[in-house]
Each structure stands twice: as structure tokens, then as C-alpha cells.
Amino acid sequence: MHSSDYIYHDGKQELHGFIAYDDQSKQERPAVIVAHDWSGRNEFACKKAQLLAEMGYVGFALDMYGNARLGSTTEEKRALIEPLVSHRELLSDRINAAFNTLIARPEVDKNRVAVIGFCFGGLCALDLARSGADIKGVVSFHGLLGKPDHLKSKKIKAKVLVLHGYDDPMVKPDLVNSFCQEMTEAEVDWQVHMYGNVQHGFTNPQAQDAILGIFYNHVAEQRSWLAMTNFLHEIFKT
């Protein structure tokens, strides 16, 4: 199994991704982009890319901030996320840079690409679909769901799966419903799985923040990963 850091660019901004795939196979295969949470391209994201590689895909953990910058405190994370959340065109360009980099790789079947994202990464994944990118599917784990206010969405080609905690204080059920309406109006093949008594960040074993409502939930983590696995089999026809 090959795994390594992978430098790519969005204009002049250097980005430090992480790629993993079975280097014993010479065939093109489906690929899955992993969009990190607000702390940056961390070990969690890289491990997900490795797990996806073990499933037979090319796993690619992108870097939304540049130079693999990481935030450790809430203040640092907010400072990293703010320029992209406030300028969704920049966010869209940044994740499209990862997509365009990935489909140029010889291991990748460019007609079978999906993106998964966690928290802030869920928003990134959805905005890749909203940009009209030619991707098969999007999976959001406890993601931010709000559509851009001043950036018109293009035709969404991807199927969409949202995996969400019903008690998530950052994206409450009324916002989830607004997202469902957005997807319905866009004629998207969409699904939302809501997990009862589950808050934000449920896939991350390190999540433990009563103030922000971020808590790991082992059962929801397992259920959501299985839902994603089945979804990838469906869209990739594997």
C-alpha cells in the first residue's frame, strides 16, 4: 500500500494533500476525496484516506488551508475557517483544485470520483457538488449544510448522502430541512440519515466539548461508516 504527502496548488497557494492507494494494482480505480474538519488536514483525515485505500479506492485527504496548517484551539480553528466560509467562491475554487489534481492521477478512474467530508469538510464536499463538478457522490458526516448566499449553484450531478446527529447544535433540524428543500428543488438524488440523541462530531473519538456540543458516539460512527460504504458501492457499481 502506497501512502504519502502530495503537494498540489490552487493558483499560487501550495497545498499539502495526502494520498493512499494499492500500488500493486495497475488498473484505474474509483477515488474518494476526504475533506477535513475545521482543524485542518489532520491525522484523522489521513487515516480515513488510508481506510478508503484498503477498500480498493484511491483515498485523497485534501488541504483546504495550505501548507497543511492545523489549528489546535477554537480560536485558531475559527481563524483558519473564516476566510473560506465567508468567501464561498474561494472555498469552491480550493476544493476544485483538489478534484482536478486527483483526476489527473494515473491510478484514478476520473469518471468515478466521490467526496466525503467531516464538519467543515461536509460543507466543502457539498460545495464541490454545487460547483457542478463531475463527481458521482457526496457524503457529509455531521457537516455544515448551508448553501452559499451570493454564489449561484450549478447543476448538481452527484448523488448526496448526509449523515447527521439530530441533536447537532450547529446544524439544527430546521436547517437540515432547508437543505432537503434545496436538494429537492435542484432535483438531486439525496438522502439524509438522522441519528437520535447524537450531537456534532460523532465520528471523532477525540470529540469532547460540552460548550460547542461536540461529542463522539461510537454507534453513530459505525452506522454512518456503513451507510457511506454502501453508498460508495452503489455509485461506483463495485
For residues 190 and 180, the answer to whether their CB atoms sit within 8 Å is yes
Could you give the residue ranges of the DSSP H alpha helices within 104-164?
Answer: 120-130
pTM of the predicted protein model: 0.95
Look up the domain containing 139 and give its range: 2-236
Per-residue confidence in pLDDT tens, the chain, 238 aa: 999 999 999 999 999 999 999 999 889 999 999 999 999 999 999 999 999 999 999 999 999 999 999 999 999 999 999 999 999 999 999 999 999 999 999 999 999 999 999 999 999 999 999 999 999 999 999 999 999 987 777 899 999 999 999 999 999 999 999 999 999 999 999 999 999 999 999 999 988 888 888 999 999 999 999 999 999 999 999 8
Burial state string for 95-107 with b = 16 or more CB within 10 A and e = fewer than 16: bbbbbebbbeeeb
The total number of structural domains that make up the chain = 1
Residue 219, all three cell numbers:
454507534
- Residue 230 C-alpha from the chain's centroid: 17
CATH code for position 193: 3.40.50.1820
